[in-house]
Chain A
């Protein structure tokens, strides 16, 4: 094992330039495992445990680790501590001494800490040649406990076929490693062997276990040196056949900041300085009242009638929502704001019905027409813009709306080169008008009140 070569990041400190997102987590975990091992500073006691005729050096129980995590990371629920501990194990920082499966158990199961040499923050991407050497070396050791597991034996067989031509080389490397290992002291060997095995459990996991070395492809390409020569675990020189790291989309070199960039920044900052902002106390009150108003409609917080379809497997709740008869609760929402009323198709219909009864529906119809207009495909924009003008704004228009002269001018200018936002000003103006005038009257109207109070209509039968 090439652990002797300290220049390969023996202390576990990786190149500071590599601040990939994974590194953030690794650093946090490393901080945790360093603290756990520091007995003087409240860490766990790492002991040698006697077992039958032998001694097990440098171990700690799963329960101790769980306790430490709960105490030092303010975790109340042991299940959470076990989950976090299992992830720390899955990433290769702690491991059970008698199992290939990297999880944490809250009992007397014995665990050991991984050597910093093998820490993931060293950006290991071990080649199959290294893995072949490792498995081959294992078969040369006579101890029963080091026998290959089934999946390892299968892997070895596969590698023997794949590397048939250079198997002699691999075999020699394995023999060399065995020689090096034999020179080490017995207790030290036990520890190193287990750490090496745990390393391979991370990089060649047991089938069915999560491979925690998998990367999010969106983050991979930012590696600063994607074509660096990958270091071998066993000091095998790179024969030039190693694959580059799997995912290197061409990374954009970071552009140097130009004068223009900074000028844009300055303009932006000045706009921000001119902006009128609200106090936090005010927005906090606003957020609270919005949330409190809608909590009765929030299925995660309040019970819904008759039942949540996902829980009861009964879709009645959805059928009721889709029916022509909105519930009182739903009608109540239309009274929260004009926005809410227009968001609900039933609310829109009732508001329109009310306005038609007053012969003043042109404002709402204009607003709805512009909403629809913004959703049209590009090639329809021009013609539709004209149609809306003819219907609502032109001289003698059939549904003439009342726009202030300023908005009217702006809109008529916009239409010289019509676009999806040509009616934006006009729409905003009309919305404000409806909000302050007809919407308030709608809420007081019989049409709305009847629905809100669920008053039955008296049907005249003559």
Chain B
């Protein structure tokens, strides 16, 4: 094992050299395990039938670009947020708008539904993430009950509740992620390591897991231990900003979507990228991605207004969804996997099935 280089007199240069040596060694070690490509092993998997996905609902109501959305655990409600400062809670099944929360700042970049279904979180250019309890009384002014929880020093790019309504995890343009206690607003843990804006995060799906993955403008995807704040694993394969990261349903792997027009798939046990999803004809950045329930399909939204559906194992494109009239900012599969929701700069949301 290489020396730790903690002696006095170690120059920045010699430390950098040591780091480079270790990086090369790590690459060599990892490459020894790269005995086959995922798509080669997947040749024996039965081909997918033709996918016939269509738009089943169009949710109109936002006045400007829809930037984010999240499903409720009840599989039919959702929350969405927009550039115009509005956050809307919908019953997507009936197209009914159940709540509208006007926020004082524009560009609400992130929103999330609480696991109980009784609250939502949102944030963006205000550098905060606030929690708003949802009331059954339609006339109640929800904005008045808004409570600031997270405070960053730059825009909030992503937020999610952990397994309860009591904690939220946020990512920010200030280069950090943070875990907060909702009731007190106290910072429970902060996560430092990215060297540029963090644009996305996703919690590991395990019942027993305590990790999450984040991606950002430093082109890195980092896996974190929520307990210690430590960066456990790091992946640097993309050639531009990572706009979205999402775990594969088993929690052993995750995908990323980037401005370099590719999506990539990484396995945590092999500690490496195991697939790249790209095509000559796809030249616009991928802004968002999510897996179908089994992990066989990866839905990715792009800045060319389309959603490409990838066969995760075989590495080929299974389908392309046209419909949105401007950039797709977010795609999310519903909790029971029955539908895909997409949010767009064309101010609408679409449900596909």
Contact = CB atoms under 8 A, between A and B. Distances in A.
Interface of A: 21, 24-25, 28-29, 32, 69, 73-75, 77, 79-81, 83-84, 87, 210, 214, 217-219, 221-222, 249, 252, 254-255, 257-259, 262-263, 265-270, 272-275, 277-288, 290-295, 297-301, 304, 308-311, 315, 317-318, 321, 339, 342-343, 371, 374-379, 420-421, 424, 427-428, 431
Given A273-B1, A280-B37, A309-B338, A252 B175 contact: yes
Given A284-B42, A291-B312, A25 B5 contact: no
B337 A249 contact: no
A29 B261 CA distance: 13
B15 A311 contact: no
Given A29-B283, A218-B197, A284-B42, A297 B293 contact: yes
A375 B162 contact: yes
B297 A249 contact: no
Interface of B: 1-2, 4-6, 10, 12, 15-16, 18-19, 22-23, 25-26, 29-30, 33-38, 41-42, 45, 48-49, 51, 53, 56-57, 75-76, 93, 107, 109, 125, 154-155, 157, 162-164, 166-167, 173-175, 181-184, 186, 188, 195-197, 199, 206-208, 210, 217, 227, 231, 233-234, 240-241, 248-250, 252-253, 259-261, 267, 269-272, 274, 279-281, 283-285, 292-297, 303-306, 312-313, 320, 322, 325-326, 336-340, 345-346, 351, 353
| In the complex, the 4 A-B pairs of residues with the closest C-beta atoms, listed nearest first | A375-B164, A294-B294, A298-B294, A310-B353
B269 to A, nearest CB: 4
A424 B5 CA distance: 34
5 contacts: A257-B12, A270-B4, A291-B294, A310-B338, A377-B181
Contacts, number: 275
Contact of B351 (A262, A310, A420): A310
| Most chain B CB neighbours (cut-off 10 Å) among A29, A263, A284 | A284
A246 B38 CA distance: 45
Q: Which of A87, A249, A283, A297 has the most CB of B within 10 A?
A: A283
Chain A contact residues: over half helix, strand or loop, or mixed? helix
Given A87-B304, A273-B1, A291 B56 contact: no
A283 B325 CA distance: 39
Given A217-B107, A290-B249, A294-B294, 19 more contacts: A21-B259, A32-B283, A83-B305, A249-B154, A254-B196, A266-B15, A267-B4, A269-B22, A272-B233, A284-B42, A287-B253, A292-B294, A297-B293, A299-B339, A310-B339, A318-B76, A375-B163, A375-B167, A427-B208
A270 B261 CA distance: 32
A279 B38 CA distance: 11
Nearest to A321: B336
A300 B297 contact: yes
A218 B269 CA distance: 32
B304 A284 contact: no
Given A75-B281, A299-B353, A294 B207 contact: no
A278 B163 CA distance: 29
A266 B4 contact: yes
A277 B18 contact: no
